[in-house]
Structures are given as structure tokens and as C-alpha cells.
A and B are shown apart, each in its own frame.
Chain A
């Protein structure tokens, strides 16, 4: 059975304080891993797709990396508007995405 664990569950940062979120997974035959951002009361918003170990993607203050067992979402010099819940979802292909429970990030001034 595919499993995903995200850590920490919650993270509070000061503005400008860089950190990383972790997504550990056990998925047979990983074909890709997706990162989403979710704001309260809204649907998940797609951020990145990573297809193979060693791959990196960047968008503004966010950088996602992938190894064979985990993925990291690095947040550099975060701002309050980066506050959200971040979800990861690895897939072994087809329609099956296995979602983690997310990391709730709060960035304070």
C-alpha cells in the first residue's frame, strides 16, 4: 500500500526565515510527485511536478527536490503570503495520487 508522510505537521516562521518541508513516501514504481498549495476554504493549487530522483523545480521563493524516498519543498526568505498548507502527492502512474496530510505553514512579520 502506498504511503505518504509529511513533516512537520505545522511550521511557524518569521518573515525571511528559510526552512524546508518534507514529504516521505513509499510508492511502488514512482512515476511522479506533485506539490500543491492550499489556502483556507479553497481547493489545492498545483505548484510543481517532479518526475525522477535528482530533479529540481523552482518558482519564486519555492524550490522542490526529489530523491528516491522523499521530496523537500524549500522555502527561501518566506513572506506572509506564503502562509498556506502544502500538500505532496506521489503517484505510481494512472489516476492514483496518494496525498499526504500536509504541512500547515504560518509566516509571521
Chain B
């Protein structure tokens, strides 16, 4: 499981409320990623981090912010949740192979329903 846990695993919230999802890793990975998965779409990158306090936007970053104050935790925040953010959210970390191209290992996911 690449040492990744996500919390909460399920959440129901109302439109307009803030929501924070947490990704925790135990293997000291420098890089961490947040994706969302929706029917009809492949996994899409929201934000990623390349170190403590170092983050960057992905493909679908509008409406999301992230923070990384320590190596093991990467937080994804929906400042004001909308129904379009109903999705399954996955955190990922890269394999450590030393190769130029590395795959990513995924956490168990958080199912978010925005009513």
C-alpha cells in the first residue's frame, strides 16, 4: 500500500462548507500527489508537492488548495465545496527506483459527496 493512509475515507458535506482531506505517508517521500477520479474521466491531477511548503498546480486545480507543513502530510482543502467536487480523491507517492520515469502508488481514496 506504499505506506499511504487517507482520511476521512468517506465524507458527506453541504455546498459552501470547507472540507479538508488528509494524506499521510510513512516512507519519507519527497513528492506527493492529489488526484480526483470521476466516471468518464481518467484520474486527473489536482495538485502536487515536491517538498515541505513546495507545491504546484495540476490539471484541475481550480477550487482546491493544498498545504504541506511536514514531509508526511499533504492536505487538500476545498475552500467552499460545490456539487461538482463530488468525487473520489486519491493521494499518490512515487516509487523510488532511481530511474528517470517512476510510477506512482496510490492510497485507498476518499469518497466525497457534496449535497
Segment from A54-62, A65-73, A98-106 that makes contact with B? A98-106
Among candidates B31, B42, B101, B104, residue contacting A31 with C-beta atoms closer than 8 Å: B101
Give complex CA distance A14, B82 in Å.
42
In-complex Cβ contact of B108 among A4, A34, A43, A89 (8 A): A43
CB nearest neighbor in B for A88: B42
Query: Is there contact, CB below 8 Å, between B101 and A99?
Result: no
Size bracket, chain A contacts: 20 to 34
- CB atoms of A95 and B42 under 8 A apart: no
Among B31, B90, B101, max chain A CB count under 10 A is at B101
* Residues of A near any B CB (own CB < 8 A): 4, 31-32, 34, 36, 41-46, 49, 51, 87, 89, 91, 93, 95-102
Closest to A33 in B: B101
Residue of B nearest to A91 (CB): B101
Which chain A residues border B108 with CB–CB below 8 Å? 42-43
Question: Is the CB–CB distance between A95 and B33 below 8 Å?
Answer: yes
CA distance A97 to B90 in the complex (A): 14
Tier of interface size on chain B: 20 to 34
Across the interface, which residues of A come within 8 angstroms of B103, CB to CB? 32, 34, 46, 49
* Set of chain B residues within 8 Å of A102, measured between Cβ atoms: 42
The answer to whether B101 touches A49, judged by C-beta atoms less than 8 angstroms apart, is yes
**Chain B, range 65-102, C-beta contacts under 8 Å to A:** 90, 94-95, 100-101
Q: State which of A45, A93, A99, A100 has its C-beta within 8 Å of the C-beta of B100.
A: A93
Across the interface, which residues of B come within 8 angstroms of A101, CB to CB? 40-42
